[in-house]
């Protein structure tokens, strides 16, 4: 994984999020405060704007810059949680010596664990963790079982989709949606939908390389 790949991913994610923006906005209007799409769009824009700065940096410094930008420039729970993801990925050892796919997966797995601790949410509580945790587990197991990278990407796309869809019938326990109690049921969680779309986009980019 290179810094160019990070930038390319952010640009692809921007296209996919724009296409799905009305749906994501509606989901957060139904069970949140409606700003999730705005937070995601802002985060992506800030990352893309960092291109001239981060392309000259080491991987750890680039990821740290991304984390700081997201933490300082994006509001809502998602700003803090995605900032934590990148901050933790930056801390994985030896990433400035090159990042092969196993290391990239380790970085993602560590990042998701930190997000889980930060938000104190687990699977089944109707948040983005219903996508991030199963995908991290799937990737971790894939590396342990030495699965083919492209097969693993196809599997991760399916796991992310299943996790996102699972949030529909769940009762929200964490975040703003939990204020709705039983009324949170019947709607997909906006953060689960945006995370699933981002994961799908990155997996497709890897499948096409």
Which residues would be at the binding site for Mg ion (CB under 5 A)? 28, 32-33, 35-36
Count the residues in the chain: 209
Q: Which stretch binds ligand ADP (CB under 6 A): 55-63, 70-78, 91-99, 105-113?
A: 70-78
Q: Which of 47, 59, 70, 81 binds ligand ADP (CB under 6 A)?
A: 81
For residue 137, give Cα distances in angstroms to 9, 154, 176.
22, 14, 26
Question: Does residue 76 touch ligand ADP according to CB under 6 A?
Answer: yes
**Closest distance to Mg ion from the beta carbon of 142 (Å):** 32
**186 vs 208: CA distance, rounded Å:** 35
Q: Residue 130 binds which one of Mg ion, ligand ADP, none, with CB within 5 to 8 A depending on kind?
A: none
**Closest distance to ligand ADP from the beta carbon of 41 (Å):** 11
Q: Give the residue nearest to ligand ADP (CB).
A: 191
Phi/psi-derived region of residue 123, left when phi > 0, alpha when psi is between -120 and 50, beta in every other case:
beta
Tokens 């963790």 correspond to what residue? 129
Q: Which stretch binds ligand ADP (CB under 6 A): 13-21, 35-43, 59-67, 156-164?
A: 35-43
32: which residues sit within 8 A by CB, 6+ positions away? 175, 176, 177, 190
* 172: DSSP letter: P
Question: Does residue 35 touch ligand ADP according to CB under 6 A?
Answer: yes
Name which of 31 and 54 has its Cβ closer to ligand ADP. 31
Question: Does residue 191 touch ligand ADP according to CB under 6 A?
Answer: yes
Question: Does residue 134 touch ligand ADP according to CB under 6 A?
Answer: no
**First-last CA distance in the chain:** 12
**37 vs 43: CA distance, rounded Å:** 10
39: which residues sit within 8 A by CB, 6+ positions away? 74, 75, 76, 78, 79
Q: Which of 9, 41, 64, 78 binds ligand ADP (CB under 6 A)?
A: 78
Per-residue tokens: 4: 């160019």
**Closest distance to Mg ion from the beta carbon of 34 (Å):** 6
Per-residue tokens: 123: 């699977």
Question: Does residue 17 touch ligand ADP according to CB under 6 A?
Answer: no
Binding site residues, ligand ADP, CB under 6 A: 28, 32-33, 35-36, 39, 76-78, 81, 119-121, 127-129, 174-176, 189-192
């Amino acid at each position: 994984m290179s810094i160019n790949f990070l930038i390319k991913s952010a640009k692809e994610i921007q296209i996919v999020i724009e296409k799905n923006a009305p749906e994501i906005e509606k989901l957060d209007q139904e069970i949140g405060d409606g700003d999730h799409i705005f937070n995601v769009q802002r985060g992506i824009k800030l990352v893309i704007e960092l291109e001239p700065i981060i392309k000259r940096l080491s991987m750890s410094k680039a990821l740290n810059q991304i984390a700081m930008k997201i933490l300082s420039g994006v509001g809502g729970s998602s700003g803090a949680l995605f900032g934590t993801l990148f901050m933790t990925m930056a801390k994985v050892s030896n990433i400035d010596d090159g990042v092969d796919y196993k290391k990239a997966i380790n970085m993602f797995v560590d990042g998701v664990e930190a997000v889980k601790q930060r938000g104190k949410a687990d699977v089944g509580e109707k948040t983005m963790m219903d996508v991030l945790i199963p995908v991290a587990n799937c990737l971790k197991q894939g590396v342990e079982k030495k699965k083919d990278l492209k097969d693993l990407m196809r599997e991760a796309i399916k796991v992310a989709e299943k996790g996102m869809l699972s949030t529909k019938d769940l009762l929200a326990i964490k975040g703003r949606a939990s204020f709705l109690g039983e009324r949170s049921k019947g709607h997909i969680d906006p953060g689960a939908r945006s995370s699933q779309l981002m994961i799908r986009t990155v997996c497709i980019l890897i499948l096409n390389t």
